[in-house]
Chain A
Amino acid sequence: MVDREEKYIGSISGKLAAYILLAFGALVSLMPLYWLVMTSLRPAGAEFTYPPEWIPSSFHPENYPVAWRRAPFWLFTFNSVLVTFLATLGTLLTASMAAYAFARVPFYGRNVWFGLTLSTMMLPWAVTLIPRFLLFKYMQLFDSLWPLFLPFWFGGGGFYIFLIRQFIMTLPVEMEEAAVVDGASRVRIFFMITMPLTKPAIAAVGVFSFIHHWNDFISPLIYTNREETRTLALGLRYFGDEQFTEFRLIMAVATLMLVPVLVVFFAANKYFVSGVALSGLAGR
């Protein structure tokens, strides 16, 4: 299927076949999103015309402000931004600290701790769901935004630690060693030398974390209750429950929720793909 003899596939028919296949895949990938945006632009009640229109006869961008005013979406957006920002910040700092320790500092029991870190990646979240809920309730943090970001200030997750550690392992140690000779402390070396060099991996983790927290549905569902503490993902669900027939409005808010994700994804696409690729090394 893949011709490795040359840089690009040589024959015209081969090229044509390749592009037809690729285009078909792209069509399938984008068709549901086309449906999403088109539905969001239909006139009121026109979701339910039969047969459905592939191209709306008229466009109604006013659906967007109408949908936005149905619930306190500005508040939900603020909550989502706050949680996403704080959780990602905590993840980046503490995951790279742990990753640095695993990659560079020889300490007693390192392999055991690293094994434990990897094993947490296989732990089903459903098992700790109820005690975590009770823990936050006991700490009187239930129905606040704290449970949504606080846990990520404690290592951020095995996957992220692993990813950054793998990256640090590929960096040359000479600069750090020179700094040690110059009498720099570990903390200084970590912040001044290792962290800056680890930028690509940190960027990848940042994007992963951003998208995860922006999209996360289950944690806010479990840990929050009031309207004031709702995030966008959860707000969309309640919105949907109440007005399940007005698909054009649901699709409008869903589109708006998708926009920041796509912006970040396109902006950091390079890091994203290399990040997942790095995680693929887990199996090697």
Chain B
Amino acid sequence: MADALPLGATSPVQTKRPRWSRKVKADNIAGYLFLAPWIIGFLAFIVGPMLASGYLSLTKYSGFGDAKWVGFQNYDKIFQDDLFYTSLYNTTYFAFLGVPAQLLVALLLAVLLNMKVRYVNVFRTVYYIPTVTPAVANVFLWVWIFNFDFGLINSLLRLVGVSPVNWLWDPQIVKPALILMSLWSVGQQMVIFLAALQGVSEELLEAASIDGASNFRRFIRITVPLISPVIFLNLIIGIINLFQTFTVAFIATKGGPINSSLFYVLYIYRKGFESFSMGYASGLAWILFMIILVITAIQFYFAQNWVYYESGEAPS
């Protein structure tokens, strides 16, 4: 980096203007050429749409004809919209219950897969298979598994004498049911945890054993702090992902029953692409962006208290 900086730098030896050596100049040209596709994409598909979304949220626009400037009217309406609050509640509930559950299951599986036994690689592959299943296939499969009369889960419940549950059609149960379904495909988080577990220093664990620490104690006191950066990473990504849950509610429950699985992005979709209130939907999207930004910032703030970095570096 340092040799690329001397744009405005003055050195005592320097008398004339040309400070960019041929190499520095060539490097700058090459760097920006290699980066050009990404920069163009960043502007065209991220920055531009972000700004456009902000502008659209201040207009009334059906997707056809001209957008009509309405100021903050959309936001006024959103804050009086019952479905906005319903979808926000559903999404928050889903994310705040779902992410810890997912991380717990993923960590547990990673610990299992980190056991030193033969053929553990085979299990690693098998445990990951649910995660590569296409989302649509996954949703149909689980609609079928959750089926009241003929589904897999209720069949198993009947086998052990428990009365069957109306998983997807009971407003009280549909969100926990969808969380349960999401636990089946936590492979991504699992493999990240596994990689972190394999990086935990064996010397530390051995030293703790010699000092008489139990396995559980070693795990809580040594392993968890050492992998805390990765727990933090999974937490951040998990919250962002679950706040944008869409496909399952769109296909399986259609937001029901009685809007109890109307998640935020599904509501955006309905407003934007079914009611053609693109301005209103853009307002909803910007509010979601702000919410996620604030939650992420809060997590980074509290990370100082529990995330441990060996090198003492801040999270990158």
Residues on A lying within 8 angstroms of B by beta carbon are: 1-9, 15, 18-19, 21-22, 25-26, 28-33, 35-36, 39, 47-52, 94-95, 97-98, 100-102, 105-108, 110-111, 113, 116-118, 120-135, 137, 151, 153-155, 161, 186-187, 190, 211, 214-215, 217-218, 221-222, 233-234, 236-237, 240, 247, 250-251, 254-255, 257-258, 261-262, 265-266, 269, 272-273, 276-284
Q: If the complex has contacts A97-B37, A124-B289, A154-B38, are A105 and B31 also in contact, measured as CB distance less than 8 A?
A: yes
Q: Is B130 interfacial (CB-CB < 8 Å)?
A: yes
Q: How far does the alpha carbon of A115 sit from the alpha carbon of B230 in the complex, in Å?
A: 19
A127 and B233 contact, CB distance less than 8 A: no
Closest 4 CB pairs of A and B: A154-B41, A107-B31, A155-B38, A277-B195
Which residues of B in the span 83-132 have a Cβ within 8 Å of any Cβ on A? 109, 111-118, 120, 123-130, 132
The one of B132, B134, B195, B215 that contacts A233, using a Cβ cutoff of 8 Å: B134
A190 touching B134 by the CB < 8 A rule?
A: no
For residue B53, CB closer than 8 A to chain A, the reply is: yes
Residue with the greatest number of chain A CB neighbours at <10 A, chosen from B126, B264, B286, B310: B126
| Most B C-beta atoms less than 10 A away, residue of A134, A137, A187, A269 | A134
Give every chain A residue within 8 A of B40 (Cβ-Cβ): 154
Query: Are B125's CB and A266's CB within 8 A?
Result: yes
Give B230's nearest chain A residue, CB to CB: A283
* Docked CA distance A146–B208 (Å): 57
* Interchain CB contact (< 8 A) of A134 among B63, B124, B195: B63
Bound-complex Cα distance A254 to B134 (A) = 8
Contacts of A101 in B (CB 8 A): 30-32, 34-35
Q: A101-B31, A113-B39 are in contact. Are A33 and B129 (CB under 8 A)?
A: yes
* Interface residues of chain B: helix, strand, loop or mixed (majority): helix
User: Can you spell out 11 A-B residue pairs with CB atoms less than 8 angstroms apart?
Assistant: A21-B115, A28-B184, A29-B126, A113-B35, A118-B316, A128-B49, A134-B56, A137-B63, A190-B34, A254-B140, A280-B193
Q: Is the CB of A134 within 8 A of B31?
A: no
In the complex, A247→B118 CA distance in Å? 39
Give every chain B residue within 8 A of A280 (Cβ-Cβ): 191-193, 195-196, 230, 233
> Contact: B150 with A48, CB < 8 Å?
yes
Q: Which residues of A contact B265 (CB under 8 A)?
A: 126
Report which residue of B44, B140, B209 has the largest number of chain A beta carbons within 10 angstroms of its beta carbon. Answer: B140
- Using Cβ atoms and an 8 Å threshold, which residues of chain B touch A97? 34-35, 37-38
B31 touches A265 (CB 8 A): no
- B residues adjacent to A (C-beta < 8 A): 1-5, 7, 24, 26-28, 30-32, 34-35, 37-42, 44-46, 48-50, 52-53, 56, 63, 109, 111-118, 120, 123-130, 132-137, 140-142, 144-145, 149-152, 155, 158, 184, 188, 191-198, 202, 205-206, 209, 215-216, 219, 229-230, 232-233, 236-237, 240, 243-244, 246-247, 250-251, 264-265, 268-269, 272-273, 278, 281-282, 285-286, 288-289, 292, 296, 309-310, 315-316
Residues of B within 8 A of A26 (CB): 123, 126-127
Distance of A133 Cα from B232 Cα, bound (Å): 33
**Residue of B35, B37, B44, B244 touching A124 (CB-CB under 8 A):** B244
Given contacts A35-B144, A123-B46, A251-B140, contact A129 B129 (CB under 8 A): no
Once A106-B31, A134-B278 are accepted as A-B contacts, the answer to whether A127 and B53 lie under 8 Å apart by CB is yes
Q: Closest CB of chain B to A52's CB: distance in Å?
A: 5
Known: A6-B116, A32-B141, A283-B230. A52 touches B127 (CB 8 A): no
Q: Is the CB of A284 within 8 A of B229?
A: yes
The answer to whether B135 and A217 have CB atoms under 8 Å apart is yes
Q: How far is the CA of A201 from the CA of B113 in the complex (A)?
A: 23
How long is the Cα–Cα vector from A132 to B28 in the complex, in angstroms? 31
* B34 and A131 form a contact (CB under 8 A): no
The CA of A106 and the CA of B141, in the complex, are separated in Å by 50
Q: Assess the B285–A129 pair: CB atoms within 8 A.
A: yes
Given A126-B288, A153-B37, are A276 and B137 neighbors across the interface (CB < 8 Å)?
no
- Return B243 CB to nearest CB of chain A, in Å: 7
* Neighbouring B residues of A118 by C-beta, 8 Å: 316
